[in-house]
Chain A
Amino acid sequence: MDIKAYIESGILELYVAGKLSETENEEIYQLLKQHPELLQEVVAIEKAVVKLTAAVSPRAKGFESIKARLEADDTKVVDLQPRTTSWISYTGWAAAILLAIGLFWTQRLNTGLEQELQTADMENQYLETQIEDAKSDLAATKNLLNVIRDKNIIAVPLGGQGNFASSFAKVYWNKADNTIYLDAEGLPDAPEGKVWQVWSLTLNPLTPTSLGTIDDFNTDDNKIFTIANVNESQAFGITLEPAGGSASPTMDQLYTLGVVNTES
């Protein structure tokens, strides 16, 4: 093959221009591998064309100008796309879960607050009751105080009798309104099946008159009992009687007894 003639034909210039057929290109590729002087010629032509075309460019940007796009494109092609979708779906799921947790939490908070409100209401009611109680207690105590201070009151201490020497009681007798106030704090609770019975006594002859049983003795707080008494009593006594009371006092169960001091 005449290398020189081949070069002179101008086919290598067209090869560099890129306008030969695929077959011609492949032929030249094979020839270039076999004949270094052909390759040298091609390289020289290419070099000249590169310089010529470059001279036309008024200015051209450096590699930095496409580097960013290149990396962005790389990432996109390799894995940005799937990552974006999964990122979106993860975010979606996360948002949904957060919302569910938020709703659940709000619900719980609401229930909790309702319960607290109920509790507060109940406490309120309880406190109101206590205030009512305290008010009525105060009223009762004031009333009691007024009774005791009344100038018409006769105070009758009842002393412990016989085996019951440690027992005591006190009767405040308002003759004006025929009422006695019995302070029975010095008496023990009535045993099961028994009840305290209050007696009005006249001494000569000794005549007991029942003023009634104190059925709520064990449950009463201040142990002060208001009892009607229309008798001209000379003494008061308290006996422990079987439930329901007795017609006459059981004398060996007489706990306390006190005589009305008519002088006072």
Chain B
Amino acid sequence: MELELLVKQFQDKNHAAFEKLYGMYHKSIHGVVYNIVKDTAIADELMQDVFIKAWHKADTYSSKKGRFFTWILNIARNAAIDKTRSKAFKQSKQNLNTDYFVDIIASHDNLDNSTDAIGIKNFVTQLGEKCKAVIELLYFKGFTQKEASEELQMPIGTIKTRNRNCIQQLRDMVL
């Protein structure tokens, strides 16, 4: 499979492979960290840090641990959360707005009218409140199923199935 080969080359310090993986995932990583730090410049810096870190600890990744995207997504969330805990960040961002990813997406001017962008915008505007919360916590904030169930006061099993339904809706719209 192509992705596997790409990751293997990336682990062998192949710049071209790294560039390709970067092209595939950097926007997502940027989106995730931006959703946490709510600052474009800091998100830019964090995203770079994430990819540099991934490059340097490439040999620690193993497909047994999960998807490559999931691996780098974890690095990104951790880096962004670490950032929000730093003293300097807390001082400069006293009133972090509490927008969810959906609010951010909705606020974007649709400069590129790609089907993806339109589809996702449709998706988030039609998305139920429960879906928004679950996706926010599980994908953007990196909550575990258990943490999310506590946060949303839902049974663990419900989190899992609800999330499944929400992602299914997303797939219907963008794939």
Count how many chain A residues have C-beta atoms less than 8 Å from C-beta atoms of the other chain: 44
Q: Which residue of B lies closest to A11 (CB)?
A: B160
**B145: chain A residues within 8 A (beta carbon):** 14, 19
**B28, B30, B123, B161: residue with the most chain A Cβ atoms closer than 10 Å:** B28
Q: Name B104-159 residues within 8 Å CB distance of A.
A: 104-105, 108, 116-117, 120-121, 123, 135, 138-140, 142-145
Q: A15 to chain B: which residues have CB within 8 Å?
A: 66-67, 70
B46-87 contacts to A, CB under 8 A, are: 47-48, 51-52, 55-56, 63-67, 69-71, 73-74
B65 contacts across to A, CB distance below 8 A? 22, 25-26, 29
Question: Given A45-B167, A49-B139: A55 and B30 within 8 A (CB)?
Answer: no
Rounded to whole Å, the gap between the CB of B124 and the closest CB of chain A is: 8
**CB neighbours of B34 from chain A (8 A):** 56-58
Whole-angstrom distance between the Cβ of B99 and the nearest chain A Cβ: 10
B106 to chain A minimum Cβ distance, whole angstroms, is 10
User: Which residue of chain B has its CB nearest to the CB of A71?
Assistant: B15
21 CB contacts below 8 A, A to B, read A10-B163, A13-B160, A16-B70, A18-B71, A18-B74, A25-B66, A29-B66, A44-B175, A52-B120, A54-B31, A55-B105, A55-B120, A55-B121, A57-B34, A59-B30, A61-B30, A63-B19, A65-B48, A70-B18, A70-B55, A73-B52
Say yes or no for A60: interface residue by CB 8 A criterion: yes
Q: Across the interface, which residues of B come within 8 angstroms of A57, CB to CB? A: 27-28, 30-31, 34, 43
Q: Please, which residues of chain B bring their CB within 8 A of the CB of A26? A: 64-65
Going nearest first, the 6 A-B pairs with the smallest beta carbon separation are A10-B164, A56-B31, A54-B27, A57-B31, A53-B28, A60-B30
User: Which residues does chain B contribute within 8 Å of A4, judged by CB atoms?
Assistant: none
Shortest distance in angstroms between A249's beta carbon and chain B's nearest beta carbon?
Answer: 121
**B161→A10 contact, CB < 8 A:** yes
Q: Is the CB of B140 within 8 A of A66?
A: no
**Cα separation A49 to B67 with both chains bound (whole Å):** 12
CA–CA, A73 to B18, complex, Å?
14
Which residues of chain A have C-beta atoms less than 8 A from B163's C-beta? 10, 13-14, 17
Q: With a CB–CB cut-off of 8 A, which chain A residues contact B138? A: 13-14, 17, 19
B164/A9 in contact, CB under 8 A: yes
CA distance A60 to B76 in the complex (A): 14
On A, residues with C-beta under 8 Å from B are 8-11, 13-20, 22, 25-26, 29, 42, 44-61, 63, 65-67, 69-70, 73-74, 77
B interface with A by C-beta (< 8 Å): 13, 15, 18-19, 22-32, 34-35, 40, 43-44, 47-48, 51-52, 55-56, 63-67, 69-71, 73-74, 101, 104-105, 108, 116-117, 120-121, 123, 135, 138-140, 142-145, 160-161, 163-164, 167, 170-171, 174-175
User: Which residues on the A side are within 8 Å of B40 (C-beta)?
Assistant: 58-59
In the bound complex, how far is the Cα of B163 from the Cα of A20, in angstroms?
Answer: 14
Name the B residues within 8 Å of A70 (CB-CB).
Answer: 15, 18, 52, 55
With both beta carbons as reference points, the residue of chain A lying nearest to B172 in the complex is identified as: A48
For the complex formed, measure the closest distance between the CB of B151 and the CB atoms of chain A, giving whole angstroms. 13
A47 lies within 8 A of B175 (CB): yes
Residues of A with C-beta under 8 A to B26: 60-61, 63
Which residues does chain B contribute within 8 Å of A13, judged by CB atoms?
Answer: 138, 160, 163-164, 167
Are A56 and B48 in contact (CB-based, < 8 A)?
no
Interchain CA distance A200-B94 in the complex, whole Å: 136
B160 lies within 8 A of A53 (CB): no
Is the beta-carbon distance between B171 and A46 smaller than 8 angstroms? no
- Beta-carbon contact of B116 and A69 below 8 Å: no
A8 in contact with B164 given A51-B120, A52-B170 (CB within 8 Å): yes
Q: Which residues of B contact A9 (CB under 8 A)?
A: 160-161, 164
